[in-house]
Structure 1
């Protein structure tokens, strides 16, 4: 769940002590910059802001946060695709395109205690990371097949090849993908391809070359997919404009 401009002054991220996860922090500016879109990336997040713990499900479209009062702090733990449902105890498709209060998943009492724990901590970032690590230690480990699915699709392999390499048919792959990723493997492949393209374009690669390297048929295909998934042209996204 990364904003378009991950190098902005108000947003920072680092690898988490929780394997495969990322810790990020953000401070609201109170201006239009707060409304930078959060783009689909296949991930799910556990988020804290003062007095609140909630979950961001896997997005199929850009999420535009509201402008908040300046100085409001956010901390998040971003889970790589397929790993969060075991942690949260909820199938990913039930949280697709949703922001859900943690109380709805873990109960009001548990959510209140955890929220107070992070609220009262001298370092909310460390406190939220500790909460995540404790919960992960009690959760069932993710299905190893899920990491294969993500790696294969992120490498640009087709859904058919991904299924064959995993030893399942296309229907079985779709059925296992819904609770793990929140959507089927075709949508996951589109989301991962979008992220590959954005990374290449941010590094200065020409759009036509970006399309070819990221796995699009051509530049027009890249432009169409970016607009459908984010609601904006690629150039506007890279500039961080409205």
Structure 2
């Protein structure tokens, strides 16, 4: 069972998941990073470039999913250092602080809300994310070309790539592909025919959509939609 809601932290989502189904469902790239609680552990999920397949283990999870580009300021770590990784929070923050936070979450009636409170408190004590990078996400999520996005923001292609690595974990072209995939999946799950989905999401055609889904999700589109 999976549930989520909008967080009190701007742009973020808080979620919980209880794994009851023996069928393992992949976590797809979405441009985001998550702070995770997992039955006594605190972890960070870095930005994915391919589908991540959980490997069994504890059944109860809670998380704060940060809006793309906002987690590095919160964590104090460049996103590219966490790309395609799940790491213990104690590897990033002082172990004594992580133990204190873990105890606070374990004592709470609702780990999801307690984890959100930790994120809110930490965010209040750190500098806000660069607003320019939020504009990058907004532009690319409308299908704006990377080169045009850089020009409109007054950046060279190299400057945009360097800043994107820190904020998103990968370059702007990869971020654009990931956001395009998510747009397509949202349309397809709403029942939009696949040929129309491809055009509306920004793909050249349905075959282009199918190739990107297989590369990023690790399975054919029909199988992914069936899940």
Q: Same fold (TM over 0.5)?
A: yes
Kindly provide the CA deviation profile for residues 135-165 of structure 1, in whole angstroms up to 9, marking residues without a partner as x: 0000111011001100000000000110011
CA deviation profile, 1:151-182 (whole Å, cap 9, x unmatched): 00000000011001101111111011000000
Matches within 5 A, 1:220-235: 220-235=207-222
What secondary structure sits across from 2:31 in the alignment?
coil
| The one of 16, 22, 28 aligned to 1:32 | 22
Structure 1 residues 9-158: aligned runs within 5 Å: 10-29=1-20, 31-33=21-23, 35-68=24-57, 72-158=59-145
Aligned to 2:140, what secondary structure does the other structure show? helix
How many residues align structurally?
227
Q: Distance in 1 between matches of 2:132 and 2:174?
A: 18
TM-score after normalising by structure 2: 0.98
CA RMSD of aligned residues (A): 0.9
- 2:216 is paired with a residue whose SS is helix
Looking at structure 1, the residues matched to 134 and 119 of structure 2 have their Cα atoms a distance apart, in angstroms, of 20
State the Cα distance separating 1:50 from its structure 2 match. 1.3
SS across alignment from 1:24: strand
Does the aligned pair in 2 maintain the 1:193–1:215 contact within 8 Å? yes
The equivalent of 2:178 in structure 1 is: 191
* TM-aligned CA deviation for residue 126 of structure 1: 1.5
In structure 1, runs of 5+ residues without a counterpart are 1-9
Q: In 2, distance between residues paired with 1:79 and 1:237? A: 24
Tell me how far 1:68 sits from its aligned partner.
3.6
Task: After superposing the two structures, state which structure 1 stretch, 123-132 or 178-187, moved more.
Answer: 123-132
Aligned residues of 1:28 and 1:68 also touching (Cα < 8 A): no
TM-score normalised per structure 1:
0.92
Quick one: distance in 2 between partners of 1:49 and 1:172?
37
